[in-house]
Amino acid sequence: MSEELSNFIHDIVDADLAAGFSRRIHTRFPPEPNGYLHIGSAKAIWINYSTAQKYGGLFNLRYDDTNPVREDEEFVRSIEEDLRWLGCAPTGGIYYGSDYFDKCYEFAVKLIKEGKAYVCDLSPEEMREYRGTLTEPGRESPYRSRSVEENLDLFERMKNGEFPNGSRTLRAKIDMASPNMNLRDPALYRILHVPHHRQGNKWCIYPLYDYAHPIQDALEGITHSLCSIEFENHRPLYDWVIQNIGFENPPRQIEFARLNLTYTVMSKRYLRELVETGRVDGWDDPRMPTLRGLRRRGYTPTSIIEFVRRAGVSKTYSIVDIRLLEYCIREELNQSAPRRMVVTKPIKMVITNYPEGKTETFSIPNNPLDPESGTREVMFSRELYIEEEDFSLNPPPKYQRLRLGGEVRLMGAYIVRCDEAITDDAGNVVELRCTADLETGNGNREGGPKVKGTIHWVSADHCIEADLHLYDHLFTLENVADVPEGTNYLDYLNPNSLQKLTGCKMEMALADAQPGERFQFVRIGYFCKDTKYDNTFNRIVVLKDSFKLPDQN
């Protein structure tokens, strides 16, 4: 990570170090445990982690568990697992926002005593009305002038559970005429009679994120709070909290553009809806942009990190082509994935001049680009399976696969000639009768025409059956965040995002494939043994794409 190129965040950190702002860089990743991490989270993780690594600093994982309504231990566990899977271990420790509830309450009392916070009885609807608009200032709450004593009493009674949900809030006393609406007396605490996943029923008031987050950063010694661009307008409130509580070594908030990806959604609310309505197979559905989904599909942590690195760090909104992500995994697996032969739509081929009952083996490279990966022995017999599309009764021009009277090489084995095609009553080819040139097992043939086509195959007597899941984009719309007026993002779900191929014939080497193991199925694509369903392989990505890699600055 220390070799990463600089970006605007690193330029700011360099200037801060030169000015003596801090001695040791300390960053954090603060997810709310109300869902699974997605690839946009991976960008935030990488930015914070790599910045700490570059400067020899520390990186914290802190759960933003200040809203207990949707938080769950399932998500808590998954977040840490995904973080470590990415290779971004929290070198500074693991913390919870709820660890600081007592301090947040203590600081709120301090603000009340100093006349900087008050208890407000306005309903949420009335607060929105009093807040004003972007062009009109807000109006002060009629409860803004309460005495310190009354505010302290009411706030303690809020904590003690005497009032119903939504009946009162604690608000900062800042400026109802501020052009930044986040400074118009924002709420710091709300009443919420909901048990907390770690605190139980200890609290019935909970701090809001804009109040709790800067306190958590300051208490943990965070030097640079790196967050996405939607928090830019919240930075003045972040600074107000830090300054008015009186922290001596205040953290600095820096914002970057979120990761947006074509043909998908990043909103956790939308992702949850897809899961809860059964439109996908859970949070780990391989079509989902969650790290669990990408992992189950077969993406590696290194390919995801390479993707977010190539996508870049800026403050400008952009949408990244999903094909860049596919490019990163394809480039990695092309070098590392072992090759295997799989026939998806099999036709039986009988080698009529090959003795019945005889078998032999051919040694085939596991990966031609990696000599150290060695070879495997593939069984050959009289009856084979080849792909339906590798034979044609009426071949188009320049067709180089098998035809009646034509020849092809069976990958790693003999050259064969098709003598007869047997069809069913509907005219579908069900069996081919072929003759092998049994002198060509070593790849050479003396004299005669050269064979241009090579096809893959498996032995009918030495193969296994399994299913393939072929995945495509989850949505048909390139920019799902910008749906046409009058439509919903669900209107653009791709009905062909999953195609299931059953009964595929596979060479025996795949019988021992372990869940999560990746392969290149020759001439088909890159696949991963599914971790959820037995006897299933998920397509990670197709073999080739016309995508052109963007210029790297």
Q: What is the pLDDT at residue 257? A: 96
Q: What is the pLDDT at residue 5? A: 64
CA atoms of 483 and 478, how far apart (whole Å) = 9
CA 144 to chain centre: 45
CA atoms of 398 and 29, how far apart (whole Å) = 56
485 is catalytic: no
268 is catalytic: yes
Helix axes 301-311, 39-54, angle to 10 degrees: 80
DSSP codes of every residue in 257-310: PPP-BTTS---HHHHHHHHHTTSSSSTT-TTSSBHHHHHHHT--HHHHHHHHHH
Q: What percent of the chain has pLDDT over 90?
A: 92
Which residues pair with residue 463 across a beta bridge? 507
Q: What is the pLDDT at residue 4? A: 54
Q: Supply φ then ψ for residue 323, to 5 degrees.
A: -70, -20
Give the global pTM.
Answer: 0.92
CA atoms of 425 and 324, how far apart (whole Å) = 47
pLDDT at position 3 over 50: no
Q: Looking at 235, 252, 268, 382, which residue is catalytic?
A: 268
Tokens for 95, please give them: 């913390």
Q: What is the pLDDT at residue 342? A: 98
Task: CATH number for 8-256: choose from 1.10.274.30, 2.70.98.70, 3.40.50.2000, 3.40.50.620.
Answer: 3.40.50.620
Which pLDDT band, with edges at 50, 70 and 90, does 552 fall under? low
Tokens for 251, please give them: 């953290």
Which pLDDT band, with edges at 50, 70 and 90, does 551 fall under? low
Higher pLDDT, residue 552 or 126: 126
pLDDT at position 548 over 90: no
Q: Looking at 144, 258, 323, 401, which residue is catalytic?
A: 258
The CATH H-level superfamily of 268-338+466-541 is Ribosomal Protein L25; Chain P (2.40.240.10)
CA atoms of 407 and 30, how far apart (whole Å) = 62
Q: What is the pLDDT at residue 238? A: 98
Give Cα separations from 291 to 83, 304, 518 (angstroms): 9, 9, 17
Q: How do 383-387 and 26-29 pair as beta strands?
A: unpaired
- The torsion angle over the Cα atoms of residues 3, 8, 12 and 13, rounded to 10 degrees, is -20
Distance in Å from the first CA to the final CA of the chain: 18
CA atoms of 402 and 391, how far apart (whole Å) = 5
Q: What percent of the chain has pLDDT over 70?
A: 97
Mean pLDDT of 211-229: 97
Mean pLDDT of 328-356: 97
Tokens for 408, please give them: 């092809």
Mean pLDDT of 122-137: 96
pLDDT tens digit sequence for 449-492 = 788 899 999 999 999 999 999 999 999 999 998 999 999 999 99
CA atoms of 62 and 225, how far apart (whole Å) = 12
Amino acid in the structure at residue 274: L
Q: What is the pLDDT at residue 473? A: 96
Same fold, 268-338+466-541 and 342-456: yes
Domain locations in the chain as residue ranges? 8-256, 268-338+466-541, 342-456
Window from 2-16, 45-59, 383-397 with minimum mean pLDDT: 2-16
Helix %, strand %, coil % for the chain, to 5?
30, 25, 45
Tokens for 15, please give them: 């200037």
The alpha-carbon radius of gyration of the chain (Å, integer) is 31
Higher pLDDT, residue 306 or 547: 306
- Nearest of 407, 418, 397, 395 to residue 348 by alpha carbon: 418
pLDDT tens digit sequence for 206-219 = 999 999 999 999 99
What fold, for 342-456?
A: Ribosomal Protein L25; Chain P (2.40.240)
pLDDT at position 511 over 80: yes
Which pLDDT band, with edges at 50, 70 and 90, does 521 fall under? very high
Which residues pair with residue 27 across a beta bridge? 59
500 is catalytic: no
Q: What is the pLDDT at residue 441? A: 86
pLDDT tens digit sequence for 22-68 = 889 999 999 999 999 999 999 999 999 999 999 999 999 999 999 99
Q: Are 139 and 130 in contact (CB under 8 A)?
A: yes
pLDDT at position 553 over 60: no
CA atoms of 41 and 20, how far apart (whole Å) = 31
CA atoms of 523 and 387, how far apart (whole Å) = 11
Q: What is the pLDDT at residue 545? A: 84
DSSP codes of every residue in 45-110: HHHHHHHHHHTT-EEEEEE----TTS--HHHHHHHHHHHHHTT---TTEEEEGGGGHHHHHHHHHH
**Beta-carbon neighbour count of residue 281 at 10 Å?**
18
CA atoms of 124 and 214, how far apart (whole Å) = 24
Which pLDDT band, with edges at 50, 70 and 90, does 429 fall under? very high
Q: Are 45 and 85 in contact (CB under 8 A)?
A: no
